[in-house]
Copies of this chain bind each other. A is one copy, B any other.
Amino acid sequence: MTSAALSRSEAAELDARDELAGYRDRFDIRDPDRIYFDGNSLGMPSVAVRDAVTAGTDAWARQLVGGWEDWIDLPRRVGDRLARACLGAQPGEVLIADSTTVNLYKLAHAALNVRAGAVVTDAGNFPTDRYILAGVAEARGRRYVEVDDPSDAVTVPDAALVCLSLVDYRSGARLDAAALTPRTAGLVIWDLSHAVGAIPVDLAPLDLAIGCTYKYLNAGPGAPAFLYVRGALVSSLHSPIRGWFGQRDQFAMGPAYQPASGIERFAAGTPPILGIAAVDAAVRIVEEAGIRRIAAKGAALTDHAIALADAWLDPLGFVLASPRAAAERGSHISLRHPDALRIDRALIERANVVPDFRQPDVLRIGLSPLTTRFVDVWDGLDRLRRLVERGDHAVGGSTDVRVT
């Protein structure tokens, strides 16, 4: 339910009472005037992540190759921490590895080894998911199906594999994973990229998941991703990429590949240690702040943004393209506007507000709970309102499109 629009002093009052307010001070914020609404693309660096990378290079200098005695199980240790902090998964079910794209590729092939039938996703799923799934389906000679409504994916009768984003990258709409999963005979891979670190995820009843760490987890541009395999399934699934870090008794360097018994079987090459150290530090902050408190603040921030959008932006031609009920959203909202691209560029270049544009007409407002204040929402949307009221976005400016 959406509340009435707050005044700026009421927003400031919410900040004063916010239990998580102090976390913002633990981030390396360079421009206090800049209002950053794009932590759902790339989160901000915390001092702890910066220090962890420095400590990682320091450990490398001190220990040299001996550092591997500690690093060798870092992908699993940090995976366990992430599982505990915000995924509702058990130790040994989550591994930090590769990119989200490569992890999806691995799990998709693994799922098709044990299920006959089609590969199914929704036409609005994130591009890399659709491209990977279509490619894997083609390679494996399976039917590839895109449905319009993600909830319909589980109704495709011959599904071997269903892939859905828990939170939609455009609308921010959240699916009910526990309700959808039992409705298909296929294995479901949940892409948690726009959910992890923003809302609590309960993987316990779910089979497979992937996600990135550079959005709400704030682990840095292109930081290593993660994958989840339900413990009971691990021993029956195999990675198509039979790398030496997935090998049982790796340093025997034996003649033939034999997958490790645990989640490590989904590792491929040498893991990126500095990157995983960054993920570790990033996850510790979420663990400390508590994912339920983070999600509650995210819900309040997005409610606040929707109320202001109703009051200020609806008259200017913006249309809310996100669910109004907080329980049905992640931590970003989307506003459609015919001039969304120009408005996005003008906000960045002339108002020091950084939202995000998505084709064809979507302005995304990401409200990362650990780094966004209630007054930021107020000030950012106020600058947006004034920019569009003046018509400033329609004059000149660039229209290049940037990276999520």
A interface, CB within 8 angstroms of B: 28-31, 34, 36, 38, 41-42, 44-45, 49-50, 53-54, 57, 60-62, 64-69, 71-72, 98-102, 105, 123, 126-128, 130-132, 134-135, 139, 212, 214, 220-225, 240-245, 247, 250-257, 268-276, 278, 348, 354, 356, 358-359, 400-403
Contacts and interface: CB of A to CB of B under 8 A. Distances in A.
Contacts of A99: 98, 243, 268-270
Contacts of A359: 251-253
Given A65-B403, A139-B240, A252-B359, A60 B221 contact: yes
14 contacts: A28-B57, A29-B61, A31-B62, A38-B65, A45-B57, A65-B354, A65-B356, A65-B403, A67-B221, A102-B268, A128-B244, A131-B243, A132-B242, A222-B273
A253 B64 contact: no
A30 B378 CA distance: 51
Given A244-B127, A272-B224, A66 B402 contact: yes
Contacts of A105: 240-241, 243, 268
A245 to B, nearest CB: 8
Nearest to A169: B253
Nearest to A28: B61
A224 B38 CA distance: 26
A243 B128 CA distance: 5
A30 B220 CA distance: 28
A127 B245 CA distance: 10
A241 B240 CA distance: 11
A230 B251 CA distance: 33
Q: Most chain-B Cβ atoms within 10 A of its Cβ — which of A100, A102, A251, A272?
A: A272
Q: Most chain-B Cβ atoms within 10 A of its Cβ — which of A41, A214, A253?
A: A253
Given A44-B64, A272-B272, A272-B275, A251 B57 contact: no
A207 to B, nearest CB: 22
A36 B54 contact: no
Contact of A72 (B98, B134, B403): B403
B253 A71 contact: no
Given A28-B61, A64-B42, A272-B224, A251 B101 contact: no
Q: Can you list the 10 inter-chain pairs with the closest CB atoms, starting with the nearest? A: A99-B269, A101-B269, A128-B244, A68-B403, A101-B243, A131-B257, A135-B242, A221-B273, A222-B272, A251-B401
A134 to B, nearest CB: 6
A42 B250 CA distance: 17
Contact of A101 (B29, B128, B244): B244
A66 B146 CA distance: 32
Given A44-B64, A130-B255, 16 more contacts: A28-B61, A31-B62, A53-B53, A53-B54, A53-B274, A66-B354, A101-B241, A101-B243, A101-B268, A105-B241, A128-B243, A131-B256, A134-B257, A251-B402, A272-B272, A274-B274
Contacts of A130: 255, 257
A222 B101 contact: no
Given A221-B270, A221-B274, A402-B69, A244 B64 contact: no
